[in-house]
Structure 1
């Protein structure tokens, strides 16, 4: 650890009053995301992240039960703004905008990371719960709420199940990410949306 990192860690130790908790947490999540995108899940350790963030390892242990849960939290923190749902008043435009952002994320540097996180969650219950709580459940809820708003606006049929639509659109993208027999592209996202809208429009 460098002298600068040591000094930063001292400043971040509980009780010193040098940095607000929110600032320390932001620094930790940013550092963990950088570790994750640079080296994958194995690169996210409390020691490495604490050194990079100028924080105390004890602070990380207090906030996250495992390095994996920190990695999931950091991933969502890094991509949350990119994956926000717009609300222009038109469901087709909003879905297309969000799907394009999602596919762009999966086909960029985040793709291998999310594939690794999904794979690791299959055999680790703690990681699976962290992944669901931090990422998949909030993302699904946001998509469902967007579709429900479109139903209230009479843009899609009231008998359509938003949960199924989420699986049809985003599930298909995950399928091509994890089983790459066919390319994951913006054209694929547009074809998905076109096929789906034929069946759900009001």
Structure 2
């Protein structure tokens, strides 16, 4: 058996292994140096992958940066399902606020949102891989709460998501006021006082 047969070449690594290495390298650049540092040249050099591979999987460096951000934040944004909508939304919104205010994560997502305004590929990646899946999780939780009789039938899930998570994004991008877990709690109580059924409101201590 030749050495070449015994030891697969660089280009023969499993695709998932290559992708994982690329995303890890991109995440390091993104969080250490910001969005401007994520170029195909730098990522290829740090990850040991070819630029051809990067162009094959991502249309722009911005789309690659978005993927790396999603991969690094996914576990921190899981949506709980305890059966109590107030508790679940408060838990998830607090986790979201912690993500945005902990270290570089908030500035990174702000950079991605800003760059998405002029990068259609990044905008599509941001929506498909991050904002829409997160919105769907919240909408599903709200619809389950309506089914349990905790929220009124006419409560609009999309509007509630905009009121809650949209308000947090607003404070991130327009920092006139601070973004905190206390603010998240106040948002939840303010929104649910309007959307909750009378029976559910009587169970709560506002």
Could you state the TM-score of these two structures normalised by the residue count of structure 1?
0.89
CA distance in 1, matches of 2:80, 2:190: 21
- Aligned twin of 2:175: 180
Correspondent of 1:81 among 54, 75, 80:
75
Deviates more, 1:129-138 or 1:161-170: 129-138
1:103 aligns with 2:86: no
Conserved? CA contact 1:86–1:94, under 8 Å: yes
CA distance in 2, matches of 1:125, 1:53: 25
1:62 aligns with 2:81: no
1:47 aligns with 2:25: no
Deviation at 1:56, TM superposition (A): 2.1
- Aligned twin of 1:7: none
C-alpha deviations, 1:71-108, integer Å up to 9, x for none? 11111111011011011111111111111110001112
CA distance in 2, matches of 1:63, 1:11: 20
Q: CA RMSD in A?
A: 1.4
Larger C-alpha radius of gyration, 1 or 2?
Answer: 2
Conserved? CA contact 2:26–2:68, under 8 Å: yes
Structure 2's unaligned 5+ residue stretches are 1-7, 198-206
Deviation at 1:161, TM superposition (A): 0.7
Aligned residue-pair number? 189
Change (3 A) 1:11 1:198: farther
Deviation at 1:12, TM superposition (A): 4.0
Structure 1's unaligned 5+ residue stretches are 1-9
